[in-house]
Structure 1
Amino acid sequence: MSKEFRPWKIDEAQLLPPSVQDYVPRDHVSRLIVSLVRESLDLSAILGSYRSGLGQPLSILGC
């Protein structure tokens, strides 16, 4: 059974705070970094190196 990391959704609402974005100012450099990672960074080589039996099965994640 294939395993993957649980996806992290920065925009997903949390119990406290309601959103991670509530603590991050609009002009903070971290927003630029998240944007670059989401849109520009090819993580396929990194993700491809994780082939161990650890992690969550894809079926649990609804993928």
Structure 2
Amino acid sequence: MRMSKVFRPWKTDEVWLLPPSVVDFVPAGHPAHLVRDLVSEELDLSAIMGAYTGVKGYPC
């Protein structure tokens, strides 16, 4: 079976009906926010992201 290289984007500030937003569980000033920001804003993830060439979202 061939695995599809597509994914849905991770939106940490998106509010869902269920489950609630991650921000609701992690208090302001928690080190987890620093890690999230470093990964999303500072790291060069182009080598990883380059492997995902298909349309984002659920596979058809």
Normalising by structure 1, what TM-score? 0.65
More relative contact order in 1 or in 2 (CA 8 Å, sep 6+)?
A: 2
The RMSD of aligned alpha carbons is: 2.5
Q: Deviations over 1:30-58 (max 9, x none)?
A: 1001111111011111122456xxxxx51
Which residue of structure 1 aligns with residue 44 of structure 2?
A: 42
What is the aligned length?
54
1:58 counterpart = 2:55? yes
Bigger proportion of residues as helix? 1
Deviations 1:4-62, CA, capped at 9 Å, x for gaps: 311010111122343210110111111001111111011111122456xxxxx51757x
Farther-moved stretch of structure 1 (41-50 vs 23-32):
41-50
Q: Aligned match of 1:24 in 23, 26, 51?
A: 26
**Unmatched segments (≥5 aa) in structure 1:** 52-56
How much identity, in percent, do the aligned residues show? Answer: 56
